[in-house]
Structure 1
């Protein structure tokens, strides 16, 4: 019976699954795997912090539409990666985390870096609240089965991360090669559920009979690769599309029936359209708080007055925040194929709605007109509106952007046009500061022929500037635009508006605004960087950065003004009951 080291067989297994990149950081528990990778066609992407590794893997999985693999060390390695893995979990991103663990023969003896305050050899339990499942490999012969289960679970149903925690001695054990060969016989693709004819017919009939139907879409459209099917339905029945933050890009922002983002950062026109709909077909969304104006019916959704049809791959999301008239558990691509088929059977010529199309066009023009002054402003520090507009002007339509949190997330959701599905990667569920900069590296590795740009605040970029080391070592040509307001700007605006102070939110040194020179930091890492000195410099600097096809940092000072808000978020009432206060600008 042929035997081989588990570390070598693991690498061969990953190769067989089509894994091309592994993201991580070394430790004494996983160097057997790194050694096995040395002769592999799998590229190990080395990082300086495990959170960076997890965010790079997250961006890679989104852009590649493939499960990402992270290699971690135990203890602090695993806890460092936890934020990035949790971010992926809340955004339903498939990821397999393989982590070294304490030697199995030292369970309970408190070996180096073991986490065992409440149970021996229990480090894998740290991940239980946010991964789909956490395994500890207690026997070497079970490792192949656990790996196969891990990938299948990460990719099926609602996707998400899983953890496989492997005692370091098991990596260095030999087992029969046949055990790995056996699991390779298992299918790598599970067929996904669709809608039956009767349910699809009921849904289409309700949409056709409705006076003011709306499609409300979330990030599930991108996860299911269902954007083409969504547009087919919109084009056939002329139904307007509103979206959550995560749903941005599901249908192009220049499509005549795209409304835009709902909720706190949505416009009054968009929120009024969804609130006054008589039927909403929700697709792949969880109706998150900011998107739904804290679920208060006066602002964005008035359900059950509006009849809700909700389709999602995850049954726990259906009815979580609103009662449904029709609920269906299905893969969105398959479900929309069924709905489109029925729609063409019942209404072969489709429907037209020129009046609504004209209203949407007029609202767009009005919103853009209201922004003209900010976009044209030559002020320095720059207005965020001008930064976003000039980034959009320079980027190709299919460029991938990553955001962090603050203006670069909320402003992008509200007023930055996105034209292709999956071309804006944002931390939705966890809203993780520090996501955008490393996620861009993952996206570029996954899509090397597309321009990738990270819009990130100085607070977010400052979380993990060591991302530049990986960019330099691997020569990954990402452009970072640091929208630098010398603050945790969004929180500063909240705190100032409600409590009259900015303690802990503004960056100061000796009482004066302070920021590191991120362009100089980039140069110290061996990366090109420029610190913008006037508004007129920005656009040409961005063109130069993209044309260079090298990693590039642009540090641009930005005014600390709030993203306009027309919706509602109940935290405002918690801070200042009955005062209707939102954010304010902070000098």
Structure 2
């Protein structure tokens, strides 16, 4: 009741929070809950629009939210429990940060009355756990601020450059009654599509039109159909070669691989890259270094133009001749109009484009070429190269591929490039286990495309709790596990460092043999099969795509093959 005697319509903060999420179009909440979330769980279960997706590990909740946002757009909610649950989800929150994925982490905290008394599952500096992985972090201070603070987090998360946010929600604040006066979700949305100054775009147009060996690098921030269409138009105007961003930063396959300008993946070792006189990074990072580099990743004498929605990425490692802070479609649309209208696109030689395409075709054929003898006949263990060589002829069109096989990811991308109407998502975070949960989220985000997750055996074991969720909700994701029974990346690193990897060393920190991963899948109630030959693999994949629910296919590959 107000001071003047008027009766105020009240509902719990948790119930009002659910209504706010409904208004934002949230349809799934991914959670591994605890006792602090009781009020919210009760309210969410009564919603006709939102489905609670239960997980048995917080990392799966975060990666599912990430995968859903990457394919469907818009914010996704991961609701985590206290300090212990938040800690479990941090590695995949890092993946969401790198992907500019609008994941909103709602973190259930113990009652404010015991947070400063060393209460059960409390921590003194909750915001410090997450601040380096999110665009904003805030712990709500009062019941009446719950809706405003969560609404603000949703706005920030979905505003370009998008990214994850965190809100701490104490148990007592959600249980308390609050006035029914939630923020207007529609008026809180900020389109945030921006473009650089006209002067900078005109300067970019002049440099691009003058270049004779222009190379366009398509990055993950070119993620919408409009982005790709403007990118395609630019390539055709300039007769320029287009490559995907470096494999260390790759988050998705962007440019249509059947287009005449498509020339593979960026690598400074390629002649088409090192000889470029203009390099235009479009929605790509520059770069993520795996180890200290002796030489820069950019051609020494090239003019460098960089378009990215986050200004912090421009000039981050290398100086930029023309920095374009803006979103892809808006900036490229104006750039294309300038190039068409100004007559700055005279007939040009296509020699560099043709050489780049020929170089990529040659390298792809060499890399994916099947060895002359059939290992199924010879009785030898399959190589990863053979497995990837077989996929394009087996996988149906219109599939989303989640690439999370670490040392094999380069081959996964190469194989996907040979498929029809394929979408590929990956993570540059190095967070093992991301792919399994992300694949489930992607399947929920776009039910019309079957999801094939290509996972390493080590990463698969990190993500095992996700199988329970896949089975519980009958999510029809197919998990193809490349089982070389090794931490191959570790073995390769030791070999690079020391020149050799002994049998004792392999047994000590590389060997992962012993687990029957297909049998483990069956234990979760998911059909699991182990394939040792290409014919067995092909049959398993055909059956999996015909099945309406989830499947696990464990393909055994050479444990001595440590990848690149």
TM-score for the superposition, normalised by structure 1: 0.87
* Equivalent residues of 2:65, 2:438 under 8 A apart: yes
> Cα–Cα, structure 1 residues 563 and 107, in superposed 2: closer, same or farther, change >3 Å?
closer
Q: How far apart in 2 are the matches of 1:362 and 1:84?
A: 38
Q: How do residues 241-252 of structure 1 correspond to structure 2 at under 5 angstroms?
A: 241-244=242-245, 245=247, 246=250, 248-252=252-256
Please name the residue that 2:62 is paired with. Answer: 54
* More displaced 10-residue stretch of structure 1: 360-369 or 254-263: 360-369
Pick one of 288, 308, 319 that aligns with 1:323. 319
Pick one of 80, 102, 106 that aligns with 2:110. 102
User: Is 1:221 matched up with 2:217?
Assistant: no
1:7-58 per-position Cα deviation (integer Å, ceiling 9, x unaligned): 0001111011110111011101112111111121201111010001111111
Deviation, 1:208, is: 1.0
Give the 3-state SS of the residue equivalent to 1:186 in structure 2: helix
Pick one of 146, 151, 155 that aligns with 1:152. 155
Deviation, 1:177, is: 0.6
Give the 3-state SS of the residue equivalent to 2:11 in structure 1: strand
> Cα–Cα, structure 1 residues 446 and 222, in superposed 2: closer, same or farther, change >3 Å?
same
Deviation, 1:405, is: 4.0
> Cα–Cα, structure 1 residues 383 and 336, in superposed 2: closer, same or farther, change >3 Å?
same
Q: How far apart in 2 are the matches of 1:372 and 1:552?
A: 26
> Cα–Cα, structure 1 residues 195 and 544, in superposed 2: closer, same or farther, change >3 Å?
same
Alignment coverage as a number of residue pairs: 548
* More displaced 10-residue stretch of structure 1: 439-448 or 124-133: 124-133
Please name the residue that 1:483 is paired with. Answer: 482
Please name the residue that 2:33 is paired with. Answer: 26
1:419-472 per-position Cα deviation (integer Å, ceiling 9, x unaligned): 7898211111x1211111111101101111111101001111011212111010
Give the 3-state SS of the residue equivalent to 1:48 in structure 2: coil
* Equivalent residues of 1:527, 1:552 under 8 A apart: yes
Q: How do residues 293-442 of structure 1 correspond to structure 2 at under 5 angstroms?
A: 296-297=294-295, 300-303=297-300, 305-347=301-343, 351=347, 353-371=349-367, 373-374=369-370, 377-379=373-375, 380-414=380-414, 416-417=416-417, 423-428=423-428, 430-442=429-441
User: Is 1:132 matched up with 2:128?
Assistant: no
Query: What stretches of structure 1 of length at least 5 have no aligned partner?
Result: 117-121, 565-582
Give the 3-state SS of the residue equivalent to 1:343 in structure 2: helix
* Equivalent residues of 2:487, 2:511 under 8 A apart: no
Give the 3-state SS of the residue equivalent to 1:482 in structure 2: strand
Q: How far apart in 1 are the matches of 2:399 and 2:34?
A: 36
**Runs of 4 or more above 6 Å deviation:** 418-422
Give the 3-state SS of the residue equivalent to 2:455 in structure 1: strand
> Cα–Cα, structure 1 residues 553 and 382, in superposed 2: closer, same or farther, change >3 Å?
same
Please name the residue that 2:5 is paired with. Answer: none
Deviation, 1:187, is: 3.6
Deviation, 1:397, is: 3.5
Query: What stretches of structure 2 of length at least 5 have no aligned partner?
Result: 1-7
> Cα–Cα, structure 1 residues 239 and 165, in superposed 2: closer, same or farther, change >3 Å?
same
Deviation, 1:512, is: 8.6
* Equivalent residues of 2:412, 2:454 under 8 A apart: no
> Cα–Cα, structure 1 residues 176 and 369, in superposed 2: closer, same or farther, change >3 Å?
closer
> Cα–Cα, structure 1 residues 91 and 349, in superposed 2: closer, same or farther, change >3 Å?
closer
> Cα–Cα, structure 1 residues 140 and 382, in superposed 2: closer, same or farther, change >3 Å?
same
1:53-80 per-position Cα deviation (integer Å, ceiling 9, x unaligned): 1111111111111211101110211111
> Cα–Cα, structure 1 residues 415 and 392, in superposed 2: closer, same or farther, change >3 Å?
closer
> Cα–Cα, structure 1 residues 461 and 150, in superposed 2: closer, same or farther, change >3 Å?
same
> Cα–Cα, structure 1 residues 563 and 286, in superposed 2: closer, same or farther, change >3 Å?
farther
> Cα–Cα, structure 1 residues 313 and 89, in superposed 2: closer, same or farther, change >3 Å?
same
Q: How far apart in 2 are the matches of 1:516 and 1:352?
A: 58
Pick one of 38, 44, 54 that aligns with 2:52. 44
User: Is 1:200 matched up with 2:192?
Assistant: no
Q: How far apart in 1 are the matches of 2:153 and 2:415?
A: 39
User: Is 1:545 matched up with 2:544?
Assistant: yes
Deviation, 1:377, is: 4.8
Pick one of 13, 24, 35 that aligns with 1:6. 13
Q: How far apart in 2 are the matches of 1:507 and 1:464?
A: 23
Q: How far apart in 1 are the matches of 2:472 and 2:160?
A: 37
TM-score for the superposition, normalised by structure 2: 0.91
Q: How far apart in 2 are the matches of 1:150 and 1:141?
A: 16
1:212-244 per-position Cα deviation (integer Å, ceiling 9, x unaligned): 111122211116951111111112221111222
Q: How far apart in 2 are the matches of 1:16 and 1:503?
A: 59
Q: How far apart in 1 are the matches of 2:137 and 2:409?
A: 31
Q: How far apart in 2 are the matches of 1:476 and 1:69?
A: 18
